[in-house]
Amino acid sequence: MTNQVWVSPNGEDGWKVHSPWAKRDSAHTDTKAEAMSRAREIAQNKWAELKIQNKDGKISNSNSHGNDPFPPRG
């Protein structure tokens, strides 16, 4: 099980920061920017992967904070 932190739309208004296996959301914000900032802090502290969704549910961005199982090739 990989540590993940997600930013997702929270219904019609606002955004939520959550982990897939958590019982409760970590945060609720009015803007996506606020949610991304809070999620980035949590992901860095947990050495987790950050996934950011758009309003349509598609993943717009992903970033690993910690041990990346698939690091970029250089």
Contacts of 54 (CB under 8 A, 6+ apart): 9, 60
DSSP string, 2-23: --EEEEEE-TTS-EEEE-TT-S
> Which residue type occupies 56?
D
pLDDT in tens, 13-48: 899 999 998 999 999 999 999 999 999 999 999 999
Percentage with pLDDT > 70 across the chain? 85
Give the start-to-end residue ranges of the domains of the chain: 25-64
Q: What is the pLDDT of residue 1?
A: 47
Determine the pLDDT at residue 67: 62
> What pLDDT score does 26 carry?
96
Instruction: Specify the pLDDT at position 65.
Output: 73
Q: Is the pTM of this model over 0.85?
A: no
